[in-house]
Amino acid sequence: MNTKYDYPKIGIRPIIDGRLGGVRESLEEITMKLAQAVADLYTLELKYPNGEPVQYVIADTCIGGVKEASDCAKKFRANNVGISISVTPCWCYGTETMDMDPHLPKAIWGFNGTERPGAVYLAATLAAHNQKGLPAFGIYGRDVQDLDNMTISEDVKQKLLVFAKAGMAVAIMRDKSYLSIGSVSMGIVGSNVDSNFFQEYLGMRNEYVDSTEILRRVEQDIYDSEEYIIALNWTKKYCYEGKDFNEESLQISREQKDKDWEFVVKMTLIIRDLMIGNSKLKEKGFGEESYGHNALISGFQGQRQWTDFLPNGDFAEAILNSSFDWNGKRNPFMVATENDSLNAVSMLFNYLLTNSAQIFADVRTYWSPEAVERVTGWKPDGDSQFGFLHLSNSGSCTLDGTGQQEKEGEPIMKPFWDINEEEVIKCLESTTWYPANRGYFRGGGYSSQYLTRGGMPVTMCRINIIKGLGPVLQIAEGKTITLPENVHKILDERTDKTWPTTWFVPKLNNTKSFRDVYAVMSHWGSNHGAISYGHIGHELIALASILRIPVSMHNVEEERIFRPSAWNGFGNDSEGSDYRACNTYGPLYK
């Protein structure tokens, strides 16, 4: 079952010198070809979360003045355009042709050719955007090209793609919902949902249901009964139950364990239906329930009021966060443990940039080389020589996080449409479902346990809200690592051997937050992080700039950072100018 959304389109604005009588006529064909080249690039390289190629809309005519700019804006509004990219090979009239929509993420590509001054238009119109308070990304190729060369150079291509990924993420979020199932979990402030943040910065709604809604639907059979049978049989076949490590006095009967399996499968169906709806419910007479909450992300409180007497949400969260279930491969759902709405948003940022599943984890422990050697007798070397972070939570992680998907023999986390059936089975076979630790979860349930394969480039991020400042984003690029088996066992079992583990090493540099691995742990702003495959820190920085969220720590190389040109006017220091620009412009939807 793939979520159905009317995804926004990319709007392409071919900008031209409006002087008729020779100048405009000589440029009409080449300007449209330039627009089409950008459209072809996006169609080839970018996909929506459902796997379909992104759609684009090109203005009906080249835009040489305000009338054509207005006509283009009307077409964009009528066709659900979510971002705009203006392209030109020549000089044009800046303020007469610019995109004036304050909510559309926007960029301008001024072709670097000497025959016509596209770069001059770029500079003039970026100045207009900056003066009018409508930030835009500026794209300018490093090397001069001939005017008839429609090849998009590699540096321009990368900027076009970074802008489009970030802009489309912003557009997809808009008018969707965060669904809070329950309330605050164990005093975790991220589950104290800040509706102003969602409304003003993300353009999203907030929806709320009490946890008892899940129990009501379980007891009153408000789920697809036929799908439930399929789901339960699939679970029995592919979800392998491990040993019960609870003290004998806390262990429950086989009969109760089987009932717990039935319950957590129903929970999975119900949380999904709460998010996106299910037409099958209407057929059963539950019309209101069939609609869902238009939720792009959700969170489940769980602890403690629920988990003190009912099976935990680990199975439901892990399966929903994965790229497959009993219906086959499908787009993952973003479901936050402990209703941590800010980590849900962090997962969402990563997901919309990559279309791949996300690991939700506690940033639990920094292991120094000295501590590792003291505890295990092994002295860390290679990637682990400066220590590492233990990322682990109570079994709610995506099963994609096992690292059992591959590309050219290397572990990877793929968009669902690239995953093959053998990889699905490997992910399932690498996961053991242990009866939940009843010290934490008195009501029982099951927690997933696996070890993430080493060697994957990953990016961890986290949104935090600072009183008086607002939201800030943290980013740490790095890689997963493999420890010697006995070392992993000793360290892992000091926490909980029934939970998944990812060993993570961040990239280090000479900044205060990344001078060593300890500094990363010390500067991390909360107990949770969202971990994505790939080094996508530069894309997160672009996304944050569109939303006016400053980046408080990152280890992205300066040459990869891409923000709207207006940021250059706020000072030479990259971090400081980011804070000043975001403060000046304020949230996108204020």
Residues forming the active site: 338, 362
Taking the CA atoms of residue 506, residue 507, residue 509 and residue 514 in that order, the dihedral angle to the nearest 10 degrees is -10
CA distances from 3 to 46, 199, 218, 334 (A): 18, 22, 23, 12
Output b/e per residue, 219-241; b: 16+ Cβ within 10 A.
eeebbbeebbeebeebbeebbee
Instruction: Write the burial class of residue 243 (CB in 10 Å: 0-12 exposed, 13-18 middle, 19+ buried).
Output: exposed
Q: What one-character DSSP code corresponds to residue 63?
A: B
Tokens of 29: 């064909």
* Coil, strand or helix at 136: coil
Token pair of 57 as six digits = 């809309």
Query: Residue 304, preceding bond cis, omega within 30 degrees?
Result: yes
Q: Any known ligand binding at 200?
A: no
Rounded Cα distance between 288 and 277, Å, is 9
**Other CB atoms within 10 A of residue 433 CB:** 23
Instruction: Tell me: is residue 362 an annotated ligand-binding position.
Output: yes
Here the tokens at position 530 are: 């969202």
Helical (H) or strand (E) element with 55 = none
Residues 6+ apart with CB under 8 A from 152: 37, 38, 41, 160
> β-strand 81-88 against 9-14: which pairing, if any?
parallel
Instruction: Please give the backbone phi and psi of residue 7, each rounded to the nearest 5 degrees, phi first.
Output: -70, 145
Distance CA 344, CA 108 (A): 32
- Written as six digits, the tokens of 507 are 């990239």
Check: CB of residue 113 under 8 Å from CB of residue 145.
yes
Give the DSSP letter string of 457-470.
Answer: EEEEEEEEEETTTE
Q: Smallest Cα–Cα separation from 87: which of 54, 117, 114, 122?
A: 122
**Residue 520 identity:** V
Q: Which of 427, 463, 481, 456 is nearest to 540 (CA)?
A: 463
Distance of CA 348 to the CA centre of its chain: 3
Residues 6+ apart with CB under 8 A from 61: 68, 71
Q: Where in 219-348 does DSSP place strands (E)?
A: 240-241, 295-300, 324-325, 328-329, 334-337
**Strand pairing of 528-533 and 501-506?**
unpaired
The residues, any chain, with a CB within 8 Å of residue 255's CB and separated by 6 or more, are none
- Please check if 528 is assigned to a binding site: yes
CA distances from 534 to 229, 351, 507, 513 (A): 37, 11, 13, 20
The two tokens of residue 199 are 């409304």
- Which amino acid is located at 40 in the chain? D
What is the Cα–Cα distance from 68 to 100, expressed in whole angstroms?
A: 13
- Residues at the binding site for Mn(2+) are 338, 362, 528
Binding annotation:
338, 362, 528
